[in-house]
Amino acid sequence: MPSPLLTPDTARSLSLVRTLGEPDRSPHALRQVLGWDASSRYLLSVRNRGEDQLRWWDLEADGCTPRFTRPLAGGVAAWFLPDSQTLLSVTFRGALQTWSVTDGALVSTVKTGMSVSGACLSLDATRLLLTAPGGRVLLWDLRKNWLIWRRDDRALFHGCALSPDGVFAAAGAAEEREGAVTLASIRLWEAKTGKLVGSRSFESSRIWTVAFVPSGDQLIAANTAGELLFLSLPSLDVVRVMKGPGSGVLQLEFNPAGSLIAASPDTSAFVVLNAHDGQELFAYSDLDDMEGSSVAFSPDGRFVSWGMDDGKVGIWGAAHRTG
């Protein structure tokens, strides 16, 4: 019987249904970034412990062993492309690489020439938004391996996002002030041209991450004050404020229906929130402050995944109702 769809009701009964990978205990900090393919058959992890590794699993296969494991020095993120036969990775030094899902071969490498702190792939997988900690943002055309536009700013950029309709690009930032003080800020650009649409500052030290709501009419931003700010577009006016799971939410993701928000703070935990009222529906923690991970919903809306403290990847699903 298929696992139930995740909704504000069923998310309350989430439980761990599968773990992937072998234990990898280490005294060094671990960060994992996860991603699903469009069919919800494949799951990948970029991890930064020891030799950075890119791993992916075929969930139709038995066991927990990755289908392939490849070295990825300075890996920042990776995504399956729409055909589920190729995946794209990006490194801290700005190298874009494609890999064959079926045989694990490295297909291509392109260098963008910039350091990367944040990355977001467009829904149609044709454009890649990249931000740099030193204040640079660029949009890359993956079909032509060509720079579409680049902008430089005095802000320190963190997480970034592209709107579902392809109209806007956004990034969270910290603006430097006198006395080693920073002020949280957001930048919003036209995705096609790179024209600055607007910027807004907030009374906290930085915006760690941003995400567009699935409808595309609002932007959500996580600040260091522990708040999730819903902002109208393109004005960036605050529509409502939701309490976040901690002072450092590093990544946010909506489920396909837009009814749930998964958030991973700068602690060894993830939470699932009701996107309507902010109620915490589920929380999990390893209680290991040396570990962190992004959290990712499966595209079929039935599972949520998160990287665990022993280097494994966990998959949670909702329980079937009885009676």
DSSP string, 24-68: ---SS-EEEEEEE-TTS-EEEEEE-SSS-EEEEEETTSSSS--SE
DSSP string, 277-293: T--EEEEEE---TTEEE
Predicted model pTM:
0.92
In the predicted model, residues of the chain with pLDDT beneath 50 are 323
- Token digits for 295? 């959290």
- Confidence at residue 245, expressed as pLDDT on a 0 to 100 scale: 76
- Confidence at residue 88, expressed as pLDDT on a 0 to 100 scale: 97
- Confidence at residue 266, expressed as pLDDT on a 0 to 100 scale: 67
**Contact of 305 with 34, CB cutoff 8 Å:** yes
Q: What CATH topology corresponds to 10-318? A: Methylamine Dehydrogenase; Chain H (2.130.10)
Give the C-alpha distances (Å, rounded to integers) separating 137 from 69, 110, 113, 161: 30, 17, 12, 11
- Confidence at residue 124, expressed as pLDDT on a 0 to 100 scale: 94
